[in-house]
Amino acid sequence: MRTASEIAPITATPKSGADVLTARIRKRLPAAGRDFELDIDIKLSPGITILFGASGAGKTTLLDCVAGLVMPDGGKIAISKRTLFDSDSATNVSIKDRHIGYVFQDLALFPHLTAQKNIAYGLADMIANERQRRTDTILESFRISDVRDRRPSEISGGERQRVALARALVTDPCVLLLDEPMAALDAPTKSKIIDDLRAWNREHHIPILYVTHGSDEVFALGENVVVLENGRVTACGTPHEVMTAPRQETIAQLAGFENFFDALVTASHEDRGTMTCRVASTNVELETPLVRAEVGSTLRVGIRAGDILLATARPQGLSARNIIPGEIISLEQRDVIVSVGVDCGVKIEVHLTLAARDSLQLRRGCDVWLILKTHSCHLMAHSARE
């Protein structure tokens, strides 16, 4: 897994005969306050690549550039040998000739056409029989045959989503772009559509770029994750690498880490693979995994609330290396989880079960010990935002 400083074009070995999408894009967009600049260089092989990032990171702009809806200021976009855009040779293939499927965030279904006519819209160049056959097949495989003669306003959100997907896929595109397609759907509907998409992808082997800011879709769908932050790629790797062992605070925040604080590296133990860090403005010392950082430098530490154990008496004989005394300053029940705020020099949030709270009889003011495994402490670059 690579850090931001090591990222060069992200590559994966392309399967022979399959299309690879390469995109080197530079685009400046005027925005209130500071101009936004997109500057990326990615290579996508067949399969689902998740484009992950907070709102405003530039994900939609990236998709629009690939589709031809927005013209980049510079760079090159190509599908295998076919160049779609090249600022050096002033090539810019028109949107309609790019053969790229695009499912928009708000679907953009034609309101005056039935589901069937929407899907068949991209097949106008085919003879009627073939067009009907393809439309019927995809209606079947996405399970929307029974709504074929209804207008978009007359069908449910999940059905509309499937019509939009089918409309883009029935044209057999070389690349598929999806912009937060599941945003408005509930979990069971989402997972069924994700299965349909996966099944289709197994048969068609094209690069699929799936934009989202929801972490659950990352795990459900992604074979490869690209993280976009403020117009730049800051991380890439498998979902597990990027989300569970994040190297960037923003990813950690998106991935659901609750605790963040600064820590000073006081010692480095290379033979043991660990480091000692002192939490800023305290004398709490933590043993953390070894990362490439100099003694005396400041890093950000991220810890999941669910990774921390609580004890009402100082434990003995434990494998965990970090046992820190503190005092409970807040107790909050959230559904079936109890969120405990502990002050041990720095405020830490711990998640416990209701049973644990009750059997330990935890209350505000109780003295407790926090137990943290070395590997529960995730070290990240100190956020130096340019």
Binding site for another protein (CB under 8 A): 67-69, 94-102, 104, 106, 108-112, 121-122, 124-125, 167-168, 171
Residue placing its CB nearer to another protein in the complex, 110 or 318: 110
The CA dihedral of 230, 232, 237, 243, to the nearest 10 degrees, is: -10
Residue placing its CB nearer to another protein in the complex, 51 or 168: 168
Minimal distance, residue 209 CB to another protein, in Å: 14
Residue placing its CB nearer to another protein in the complex, 164 or 380: 164
State whether the Cα torsion 349-355-357-359 is positive or negative: negative
Residue placing its CB nearer to another protein in the complex, 93 or 328: 93
Minimal distance, residue 72 CB to another protein, in Å: 17
Minimal distance, residue 144 CB to another protein, in Å: 18
The CA dihedral of 171, 176, 181, 182, to the nearest 10 degrees, is: 100
Minimal distance, residue 121 CB to another protein, in Å: 5
Q: Are strands 100-103 and 175-179 parallel, antiparallel or unpaired?
A: parallel
Distance CA 93, CA 74 (A): 14
Minimal distance, residue 190 CB to another protein, in Å: 22
Residue placing its CB nearer to another protein in the complex, 52 or 104: 104
Residue placing its CB nearer to another protein in the complex, 64 or 159: 64
CA–centroid distance for 269 within its chain:
33
Residue placing its CB nearer to another protein in the complex, 183 or 360: 183
Residue placing its CB nearer to another protein in the complex, 176 or 275: 176
Nearest to 176 by CA among 211, 223, 221: 211
Minimal distance, residue 315 CB to another protein, in Å: 59
Minimal distance, residue 10 CB to another protein, in Å: 25
Minimal distance, residue 122 CB to another protein, in Å: 4
Minimal distance, residue 112 CB to another protein, in Å: 5
Asked if residues 100 and 64 have their Cβ atoms less than 8 Å apart, the reply is: no
Residue placing its CB nearer to another protein in the complex, 33 or 111: 111
CA distances from 207 to 47, 227, 278, 374 (A): 5, 17, 45, 38
Distance CA 386, CA 373 (A): 33
CA–centroid distance for 216 within its chain:
8
Residue placing its CB nearer to another protein in the complex, 4 or 174: 174
Minimal distance, residue 208 CB to another protein, in Å: 15
Asked if residues 215 and 255 have their Cβ atoms less than 8 Å apart, the reply is: yes
